[in-house]
Amino acid sequence: MRLLVTDLDNTLYDWVTPFARSLRAMVGELAALLGVDEDPLYSELRAVHRRHHNSEHPFAIFELPTVRRAFPGATPEALLHALARPLAAFDAARATWLRLYEGVDETLGALRAQGHLIVGHTESIGPTARRRLRVLGIEQHFAGIYCLESALGPHPSPTWQDKGGVPVHVVPRDERKPNPALLRDICASELARPEEAIYVGDSLTRDIWMARRAGVCAVWARYGRSYTEEDWDTVVRVSHWTPDDIRREARLRVNAVGVAPDHAIDGFGELLGIEPTVAARPVRRRVRRAAVGEG
Ligand SMILES: [Mg+2]
């Protein structure tokens, strides 16, 4: 293997559990602080996420109509102070639940020591993805991360400033997963042929379908769905998905019927024993050059 392209969420760490539990902790504290019901706060969060096309829009809480009514005209800095308890509840729950899957740090370190190049590929926006890799202590293993574009203004919290680090390559929204042409472009950008690369991810419809179509060895992280139904329901409750997104998802599921990975793993460490092999040569398709730039 020359290149490992790894999905991030639910391949290197469980994203669903910490996000859902942080959100519930924050909403609970916010409802108590303002003396309101929790239900409308979830609906308002969903509306903010839809506006930003991002279910993980940093500090979405500042934009909730209920919050704006409670603190009319407040600056982001004033809101940071006023909402300290709900924000602290979010941070505390995330610190409790955000954990790498077993063996991830060691395996990335070993692959890097063997001379393999490692890049990330995620549907998260750059600042969020980079920060999470840093918090988890694995940023140093990555030569770069391919992240979705975002329009994020300056952040009110000094602890949240993006201080740089691993290079972020911005992927336009219309190039998002599953996009075999983009994956082939990632290989080209990292100076690897598709057959020298491995793609690992937890989603059959996105990661595995894409890698198979791109002619890249597709490794399915089948351990990545080990979250509870309650936590998934919380994510869905505030998700930015529009009816169009839900229709797209249904199409992807139809596309991916019968897709099979080249390998399936039950722990990230199993990557160490895998050499890139693809089950069948992919159909040669015209590859459009994706707009991948430095972010
Ligand atoms: Mg994933």
- What is the per-residue pLDDT for 157? 62
pTM, rounded to two decimals? 0.86
C-alpha 159 to ligand 1 mean position (Å): 26
**What's residue 154's pLDDT?**
58
Measured in angstroms, how far is the CA atom of residue 93 from the centroid of ligand 1? 21
At 204, list the tokens: 């059959």
Structure-token match 């919050």, residue found: 67
Q: How many residues does the chain have?
A: 295
pLDDT of residue 152: 65
Cα 81 to ligand 1 centroid, rounded to whole Å: 34
Residue 162: predicted pLDDT: 62
Q: Which helix (H) or strand (E) holds 6?
A: strand 3-7
How many other CB atoms are found less than 10 A from the CB of residue 52? 17
100, 12 in Cβ contact below 8 A? yes
What is the structure's pLDDT at 248? 86
Distances (CA, A) of 243 to 11, 90, 246, 248: 27, 28, 5, 9
> Reduced to 3 states, what is the DSSP secondary structure of residue 192?
coil
The alpha carbon of 9 and the centre of ligand 1 are apart by a number of angstroms equal to 4
Tokens for 216, please give them: 């890249």
Q: How far is CA 28 from the centre of its chain?
A: 25
Amino acid letter at 88? A
What is the spatial order of strands in the sheet that 3-7 belongs to?
Answer: 263-265, 217-221, 197-201, 3-7, 117-125, 144-148, 168-171, 293-294
Local mean pLDDT, 10-residue blocks, the chain (295 residues): 94 96 98 98 96 88 96 94 96 96 97 96 91 95 93 61 81 91 96 96 95 96 93 93 85 88 96 80 44 35
The neighbourhood of ligand 1, an ion, using CB within 5 A, equals 7, 9-10, 202
CA of 27 to the centre of ligand 1 (A): 25
Please state the φ and ψ torsions of residue 243, each to the nearest 5 degrees: -55, -35
For 253, the 3-state DSSP assignment is helix
- Ligand 1 centroid–CA 34 distance in Å is 35
What's the 99 CA to ligand 1 centre distance in angstroms?
Answer: 15
Q: What is the pLDDT of residue 149?
A: 86
Which residues 6+ apart lie within 8 Å of 39 measured at CB? none
Q: 267 CA to middle of ligand 1, Å?
A: 14
Question: What is the CA(122)–ligand 1 centre distance, in A?
Answer: 7
With left for phi above 0 and alpha for psi between -120 and 50, is residue 137 left, alpha or beta? left
